[in-house]
Structure 1
Amino acid sequence: MDRRTFIALTAATATLPFAASADILDYTPGLVQERLAKGETVFLDFTASWCSTCRSQGRTIQALKVANPAYGQAVTFIDVDWDTYGTSELAQSLQIPRRSTLVVLKGDQELGRIVAQTGQSEIQALMDTALSAATS
């Protein structure tokens, strides 16, 4: 990571307690299909409140969104509570293996996925994929 990115992410992380998470939707059955039908690019975060990997991913996602507001403006972010929906039709249809899985969808296609990875570069690459799909 270069110095400029480090400084930007550090500053963004410092503002996280004050950042609005209103742009992250909580999953309810039918929400993903509704948003995809509207032509939106959807970024799913299968997460659990007790999962340290999930919390790390969440901090990175928020820091990246603060550093580049285009993510939040163009992509629909949806948190899927693993404890409630881990065995749901959505999780089964996408073959989600575990919590801490991040998935990008557009239309009827899966554009990318990360399972249990917390690296900033991997998460940013997935978010870049989502942004590219949303703005093309």
Structure 2
Amino acid sequence: MMTRRFLLTFLALITFAPMAIAGQGTDYKPGLIKQALADGKTVLVDYKASWCSTCARQERVIESLRKGDPAYDKAITFINVDWDQYGDHEVTTSRNVPRRSTLLLLKGNEELGRIVAGTGQSQIKALLDKAL
């Protein structure tokens, strides 16, 4: 039997879940970053783990900034690299990424900036602003 609480929760999930998923970025698959860079895009690579509280804080700050300024979504391709899956992979080692909760901003063959374990809104905003 369906309770009112269950029904309201279900309706909220199907209404708001697509918005939350749409804004998070694309999950990394081999070749994705190289292709985006070859296409001339500026890419923010977010090395994260689902269990990482610093990563979660970074994600909340990035989402807040993106909601506040749609220019970020126009200027930046957001790609998430799962640390547990790709921590020892070429996508991580070739860029000397020391740990999860690392954010890299890339364009062409250049690294525009990097944050390691930083969660401050002004710090993350300054990184994203380099793409504008």
CA distance in 2, matches of 1:71, 1:20: 16
What is the CA-CA distance between 1:20 and the residue it aligns to? 3.7
Give the AA of the match of 2:113. Answer: G
Query: Equivalences for 1:9-88 in 2 at 5 Å?
Result: 19-23=19-23, 24-88=25-89
- Deviation per CA, 1:49-106, whole angstroms, max 9, x where unpaired? 0000000000000000000011012210001000001111010110000000000000
What is the CA-CA distance between 1:34 and the residue it aligns to? 0.4
Q: 1:79 to 1:32 in 2, by over 3 A?
A: same
Q: TM-score, normalised by structure 2?
A: 0.83
Partner of 2:130: 129
Q: 1:77 to 1:40 in 2, by over 3 A?
A: same
CA distance in 1, matches of 2:35, 2:42: 11
When Rg is computed on C-alpha atoms for both structures, the one with the higher figure is 2
2:77 aligned counterpart, secondary structure: strand
CA distance in 2, matches of 1:17, 1:62: 14
Partner of 1:103: 104
CA distance in 1, matches of 2:27, 2:18: 19
Question: Could you tell me the percent identity over the aligned residues?
Answer: 55
Q: 1:33 to 1:18 in 2, by over 3 A?
A: closer
Question: Which runs of 5 or more residues in structure 1 are unaligned?
Answer: 1-15
CA distance in 2, matches of 1:99, 1:44: 11
Give the AA of the match of 1:106. Answer: K
Give the AA of the match of 1:127. Answer: L
1:21 aligned counterpart, secondary structure: helix
Aligned length: 116
CA distance in 2, matches of 1:92, 1:128: 26
CA distance in 2, matches of 1:53, 1:72: 22
Question: Which runs of 5 or more residues in structure 2 are unaligned?
Answer: 1-15
Partner of 1:10: none
